């Protein structure tokens, strides 16, 4: 779990597979990942279309993430509260999504678990809503636009790294460490922006950094 010394509200690390990866499963990764991806998509669909938000007049909570975002924004704005069970859902879904992403990006070859941590370590710090600026969530998405722009280019570069790593795994069985660290850094950067702009866990502006 994150501690008070944690430099940011969202942390992500993935154990580097310092061993030969499964070439066969790597070759067919886009096909093998489909079953667990369908489960993830169903969870996202279930959360974005649940009865509670529909009855409240909201048809979705976020843009294709499944996270409880819009209700949280309203709760912080009007009550300065962050319901713990909403946070717990966001944390669990973030961890599951990270495991699926790590598998899809060839960073691990264990099939993603729906509940076990495995080699993907993601943590979010539960915020004290009383210390959050109640008006800032209204413009955090705007303040995060520079990050979104940079991330577009970083994601393109990360995809290129994954393609190179795919060939490297097929020929050598290994994921080049430099490529692994870069893809992990992009994932970590994206998570911090999500924690700031969408999950509203902190008012601390996310750093422009891969580490």
Span 40-86, pLDDT tens digits: 999 887 655 544 434 433 343 343 456 888 899 999 999 999 999 99
Phi, psi of 80 (to 5 degrees): 50, 50
Residue 46 confidence (pLDDT):
61
Residue 65 confidence (pLDDT):
56
- Whole-model pTM: value is 0.85
- Average the pLDDT over 147-163 and give the result: 97
pLDDT band at 95 (very low <50, low <70, confident <90, very high): very high
pLDDT for residue 5 is more than 90: no
Residue 163 confidence (pLDDT):
97
pLDDT for residue 13 is more than 90: yes
The mean predicted confidence, pLDDT, of the chain is 88
CA dihedral 5, 155, 94, 195 (to 10 degrees): 50
Summarised one tens digit per residue, pLDDT across range 107-139 is: 999 999 999 999 999 999 999 999 999 999 999
pLDDT band at 34 (very low <50, low <70, confident <90, very high): very high
Find, among 143, 137, 140, the residue nearest to 77 by Cα.
137
Distance CA 86, CA 63 (A): 17
Summarised one tens digit per residue, pLDDT across range 165-211 is: 999 999 999 999 999 999 999 999 999 999 999 999 999 999 999 98
Find, among 13, 36, 184, 11, the residue nearest to 106 by Cα.
184
Residue 155 confidence (pLDDT):
97
Strands (DSSP E) contained in the chain are 10-14, 120-124
């Amino acid at each position: 779990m994150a501690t008070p010394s944690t430099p940011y509200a969202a942390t992500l690390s993935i154990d580097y597979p310092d061993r030969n990866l499964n070439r066969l499963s790597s070759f067919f990764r886009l096909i093998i990942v489909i079953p667990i991806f369908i489960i993830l998509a169903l969870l996202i669909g279930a959360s974005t279309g649940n009865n509670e938000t529909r009855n409240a007049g909201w048809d979705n909570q976020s843009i294709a993430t499944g996270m409880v975002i819009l209700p949280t924004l309203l709760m912080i704005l009007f009550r300065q509260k962050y319901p713990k069970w909403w946070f717990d859902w966001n944390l669990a879904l973030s961890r599951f999504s990270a495991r699926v992403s790590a598998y899809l990006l060839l960073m691990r070859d264990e099939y993603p678990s729906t509940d076990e941590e495995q080699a993907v370590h993601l943590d979010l710090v539960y915020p004290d809503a009383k210390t959050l600026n109640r008006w800032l969530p209204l413009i955090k998405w705007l303040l995060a636009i520079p990050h979104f722009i940079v991330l577009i280019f970083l994601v393109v570069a990360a995809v290129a790294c994954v393609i190179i790593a795919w060939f490297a795994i097929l020929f050598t069985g290994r994921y080049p460490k430099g490529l692994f660290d870069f893809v992990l850094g992009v994932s970590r950067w994206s998570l911090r922006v999500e924690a700031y702009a969408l999950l509203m866990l902190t008012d601390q502006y996310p750093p422009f950094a891969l580490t």
